[in-house]
Amino acid sequence: MKIEVVKQLLGAQVVCGEEHLDTDVFSACGSDMMSDVLAYVKDQAVLLTGLVNEQVIRTAAMMDMKCIVFVRNKRPTPQMVDLAECNGIVVMTSPLRMFEACGKLYEGGLNRDGATDA
């Protein structure tokens, strides 16, 4: 699934990385616990989170994630945006709650293990 489709499904606004919206992602993870992200995420994933700190960006970069979506209209700090830009990570914000956002991505054909249902 293209990150552009993720944006549309979640009614998200791009904070940075708009030039990477044509990148493919193959799985998604919804978590506020970065230890879970480190344990379970595969490459080319989307991270949905309500946690707003630099550790989110660092974890995503370490796991080669391509996109972070902050749910509940959470906004990253300017330092977080700079760090995401340095790592080529698309950052978006969505008005949806985590549960709704994960459901919309799953319904749209993206799931946790990289297989598509569409």
C-alpha dihedral sign at 14, 20, 25, 28 = negative
Average pLDDT on 88-108 reads: 96
pLDDT at 112: 57
pLDDT at 41: 75
pLDDT at 52: 97
Q: Is 99 exposed, middle or buried (0-12, 13-18, 19+ CB in 10 A)?
A: exposed
- So where are the chain's domains? 3-107
Q: Render pLDDT for 53-72 as a digit per residue (tens, 0 to 9).
A: 999 999 999 999 999 999 99
pLDDT at 104: 96
Is pLDDT at 118 greater than 60 in this prediction? Answer: no
Contact 7, 29 (CB under 8 A): no
Q: 3-107, which class in CATH? A: alpha beta
Instruction: Say how far apart CA 35 and CA 39 lie, in whole Å.
Output: 6
Chain position carrying tokens 């906004």: 75
Is pLDDT at 115 greater than 60 in this prediction? Answer: no
Is pLDDT at 45 greater than 90 in this prediction? Answer: no
Q: Render pLDDT for 10-41 as a digit per residue (tens, 0 to 9).
A: 999 999 999 999 999 998 999 999 998 888 77
pLDDT at 110: 87
